A and B are shown apart, each in its own frame.
Chain A
Amino acid sequence: MPVAITLHPASDVPIFRQIVRQIQQGIVQGKLQRGEQLPSVRALAESLVVNPNTVAKAYQELVASGVVESRAGRGIFVAAKRQVFSKQEEKRRLAQAAQQLCAEARLFEVPLERLQKLLAAEWNELQPPTDSTKGPTS
């Protein structure tokens, strides 16, 4: 399993959602490639020491959102579709990150222009995710 899932059972996020998010993250960060097979429900459940139903539920949600696909009799694979998060979720996550960034900038009394420059530099630094089977895309 190329994605190491770390569970925090005491957190306020339900376990199945933690699994969903970390797999989504893995795909976004390119740790999980398109077409790659995910571990079976039981295997993942036993390696994470959680109830198989929880894993099954996470997979169901991933399948439902089209991030992964279930191939009958063969297992679960990362889907070709790149739309990992729903539009709404994307918006929520960006807003959250922006809020945190702005709060820190205000704290250190960084002007907006410097922040924008910083953002642009970071944007250019980040390589777009690569696809191991089809080669780099942009």
Chain B
Amino acid sequence: MSDAIVIDHLTKYYGQREIVRDLCLRIPTGSIYGFLGRNGVGKTTTIRTLLGFEEPTRGSTQILGEDSRHLKPETRARIGYLPEGHFVYRWMTVAECGKFQASFFPDWNQEIFEAVISHFRLTPKMKAGHLSRGQRAGLCLALTLAPEPEVLVLDDPALGLDPVARRNLLQSMLYIMRKPDRTILFSSHLLSDVERVADRIAILDGTTLSVDSTIEYFREHLCQYVLRFEQTPPAAPELDGLLESFRSDRELFVTLANPDDKTEAALRALNPKSMEPVELSLEDAFISYVGDHGEKTFFTKDLGAA
């Protein structure tokens, strides 16, 4: 199986500011990839570089086997791209939007277009400028899916959508995966959506890629322990992969990545009354992973004391 998208040691600066550093990622054909990270970590920059709208400072990116900087129009036709914000020409009707987009693609599939817009309860005569955010997303999605792209790149497609529109979005994504050899890369902040549809996730933390695995693998390698003590618990020990720790009156919560026997031994060495692992939901796992690391003292301070 080949890779639809290859990002090879991508480093991108805006002026002196480093946005992305040494990013390597391969997205195999036929997979759905969730691209995660906090706001402003360079997800959009990576995606824009991938589509040839930014030049890499170092490294290179390829999409469908072609260097992103020299994408031929025919290759572009095989890539669906839905940028953040769901832009439509407000003065066009839904049907006109379709007609306009169709004029660029010889292989335009009007059936898909109509299926998606009716899924989002749009009628051809509606003015694009009068649509709600969710409807607009549906229209954009229809415009992106109807040319039957082999690779679909969605930049935060769920931003600002209500639950129903989000569900429609996910259904549409799965709908086009019915055909073989389709690939989707999408960035999102909605972990429950990612968990539903993604095969794998990549997490950008700061400027670098720090996770590239299946969701299962990620969750399995992220652990939280609750240690109970008789008295005020001690501070968490210096551990490899320690993400965050939190102390309450009698308990110590420790979240860490890639735990092994040594870490458990180190925790036991604190002599807790009891110690048990807690399973984390994907969202909690993500938050502890990309959130501020170190000991949390934020909520232990008494508000009344001030």
Interface residues of chain A, those whose CB is within 8 Å of chain B, are 7, 9-16, 42, 45-46, 49-54
Interface of B is mostly: helix
Residues of chain A lying within 8 A (CB to CB) of residue B282: 9
Please count the residue pairs between chain A and chain B whose beta carbons lie under 8 angstroms apart in the complex: 48
Asked whether any CB of chain A lies closer than 8 Å to the CB of B32, the reply is yes
Interface residues of chain B, those whose CB is within 8 Å of chain A, are 32, 167, 170-171, 174-175, 177-178, 191-193, 195-199, 215-216, 219, 278-284
Contact of B197 among A12, A13, A42, A51 (CB under 8 A): A51
Closest-by-CB residue of B relative to A54 is B196
Residues of chain A lying within 8 A (CB to CB) of residue B32: 51
Contact of B178 among A10, A42, A51, A53 (CB under 8 A): A42
Contact of B281 among A12, A51, A52 (CB under 8 A): A12
The answer on a CB contact under 8 Å between B197 and A50 is: yes
Closest-by-CB residue of B relative to A57 is B216
Closest-by-CB residue of A relative to B219 is A14
Residues of chain A lying within 8 A (CB to CB) of residue B198: 51
Residues of chain A lying within 8 A (CB to CB) of residue B196: 7, 9, 15, 49-51, 54
Closest-by-CB residue of B relative to A7 is B196
Residues of chain A lying within 8 A (CB to CB) of residue B195: 9, 14-15
A27 to B215, CA, bound (A): 28
A16 to B216, CA, bound (A): 10
A46 to B196, CA, bound (A): 11
30 example contacts (A-B, Cβ-Cβ < 8 A) are as follows A9-B191, A9-B192, A9-B193, A9-B196, A9-B282, A10-B192, A10-B281, A12-B278, A12-B279, A13-B279, A14-B215, A14-B216, A14-B219, A15-B196, A16-B216, A49-B170, A49-B171, A49-B174, A49-B196, A49-B197, A50-B196, A51-B32, A51-B196, A51-B197, A51-B198, A51-B199, A52-B174, A52-B177, A53-B199, A54-B196
Interface of A is mostly: loop
Closest-by-CB residue of A relative to B280 is A12
The 3 closest A-B pairs by CB, nearest first: A9-B192, A12-B279, A12-B281
Closest-by-CB residue of A relative to B32 is A51
**Minimum Cβ distance to chain B for residue A133 (Å):** 34
A132 to B55, CA, bound (A): 66
Residues of chain B lying within 8 A (CB to CB) of residue A45: 174
A49 to B281, CA, bound (A): 19
**Minimum Cβ distance to chain B for residue A59 (Å):** 15
The answer on a CB contact under 8 Å between A10 and B283 is: yes
A9 to B281, CA, bound (A): 8
